Amino acid sequence: MSEKDLAKEIDAIKARNKRVETDKAWETSWTRRLCIAALTYIVVVVYSFTISRVQNIWLSSLVPVIGFTLSTLSLSLVRKIWEKNK
C-alpha cells in the first residue's frame, strides 16, 4: 500500500469518525428531544381533536409527550446498565 493510498484511507476514517461523532451528538441532544416532544404533542393534539371525546385536549395531550420524554431520559441509564452487563 502506497503512502498516498494510506493517507486517503486515514482521511476516510477521520471523515467517518467525524460523522459518527456528529450522529452521536445529535442522538443525545436536547434539541432533538425537544423537537420530538413538540412533534409528538402536535400529533396527539390533532388526534384528540379528531376523536373529540377528550375533555381537556391541551392538557391530556401532554401525557404521551411527558411519557416519551421521560423514556428518552431513562434510556441512557438503561443503555449504561446494558453495556456494563454485556
Contacts of 41 (CB under 8 A, 6+ apart): 61, 62, 65
Give how far the C-alpha of residue 76 lies from the chain's centroid of Cα atoms, to the nearest Å: 11
Domain boundaries, the chain: 3-85
Whether pTM exceeds 0.75? no
What is the pLDDT of the chain when averaged over all its residues? 82
Q: Residue 8: which pLDDT band, with cuts at 50, 70 and 90? A: very high
Task: List, for residues 56-81, the tens digit of each pLDDT value.
Answer: 878 878 888 888 887 777 777 777 78
Q: What is the pLDDT of residue 11?
A: 93
CB 37 within 8 A of CB 69: yes
Q: Where are the alpha helices (DSSP H) in the chain?
A: 3-27, 30-51, 57-60, 62-85
